[in-house]
Amino acid sequence: MSRSVALLDRRMVAAIQLVGPLGEAIDEPVTLECADGRWFGKGSGLFVLQHWAEDPGLSAHWESQQSAFAVGGKRLEFTLRPSGRRYMPRKASLRLPRDPDPANRAAANSLFQPAPIALPATTAFPLGGNAAGVIVGLSRDDDGALIENAVVRLRDSASGTIRAVGITNAHGEALLIMTGLALAAAGSGASASPVHGKIVEALVDGGLARFNAMPPEATAEPVDPDKIIAAVAGNTIVQSPVDIQAGHIAKATLSWSAP
């Protein structure tokens, strides 16, 4: 989903649009915590940044949109905490300042284009229609500890294209959802099969993950999946094949060893 901010709504520093795993707008309350910015929620997951502490001049002089920094030269971090049971909390960040030129409004870094931020599904997210799901369980190899706050992804077996991203919960589990899956795939010979071969993988940052012998009463603080993806070395990613099918939820288990 994409919502362009109108030219008349220029009294802002930036905007973000929260989306769910199916590309849907978030229709439940979300608390946005940010030490260096003041945000205003406009409904359906759209938030507008009205004050940025690092550049108060930009916040005060809305009409000129002149910043002390180059476009995208700084990063503002914040935490998103959904109130319901369908979406995982997460940390995220946004490059600031945004490009204020209306001529560039179609660009991804434009002031007039809310930056999309995906909220991963919880394992309680309702799977509807022809969507396919995979519940991935992740544990540490040497002691079986459940790994919380790891990133898990679903990939195409052939192309390697990433189809879904999730974050493991206190039970070491995450739900990955893929839409647009054909009801049948080419099977052996001239046959057709409803099963599609994919790959699940886990990226674990030992400094951010929590290793639970038993699921704790309180969950760990949220993490930024984008930071984990950028930090984890490729040779430490663990993978496993999985077969998925439209309208069904598969299961997969992964075991991770510290490098």
DSSP 144-159: --EEES-EEEEEETTT
Tokens 């679903």: give the residue: 154
The pLDDT tens digits for 186-202 are 555 555 678 889 999 99
pTM for this predicted structure: 0.89
* pLDDT for position 7: 39
Residue 117, pLDDT > 80, answer yes
How confident is the prediction for the chain on average, in pLDDT? 89
Residue 215, pLDDT > 50, answer yes
120, 114 contact by CB (below 8 A)? no
The pLDDT tens digits for 53-63 are 998 877 666 55
* pLDDT for position 3: 47
* pLDDT for position 192: 65
* pLDDT for position 109: 93
* pLDDT for position 101: 86
The pLDDT tens digits for 147-186 are 999 999 999 998 999 999 999 999 999 999 999 887 665 5
* pLDDT for position 216: 84
Computed from CA positions of residues 102, 104, 107, 110, in that sequence, does the dihedral angle turn out positive or negative? Answer: negative
What percent of the chain shows pLDDT beyond 90? Answer: 72
Q: How confident is the model at residue 2 (pLDDT cuts 50, 70, 90)?
A: very low
* pLDDT for position 80: 98
Residue 223, pLDDT > 50, answer yes
Give the mean pLDDT of 226-249: 95
Give how far Cα 136 sits from Cα of 150, 171, 251, Å.
Answer: 11, 10, 6
Computed from CA positions of residues 125, 120, 24, 47, in that sequence, does the dihedral angle turn out positive or negative? Answer: positive
Give the mean pLDDT of 109-134: 93
Give the mean pLDDT of 74-97: 97
Give the mean pLDDT of 16-20: 96
Give the mean pLDDT of 80-93: 97
Give the mean pLDDT of 139-150: 96
Distance (Å, whole) CA 76 – CA 45: 18
* pLDDT for position 187: 57
Give the mean pLDDT of 98-108: 90
23, 163 contact by CB (below 8 A)? no
Distance (Å, whole) CA 146 – CA 142: 11
Distance (Å, whole) CA 114 – CA 34: 17
**Which structure tokens are listed for 96?**
């600031």
Q: Do β-strands 46-52 and 37-43 pair in parallel, antiparallel, or remain unpaired?
A: antiparallel
Residue 4, pLDDT > 50, answer no
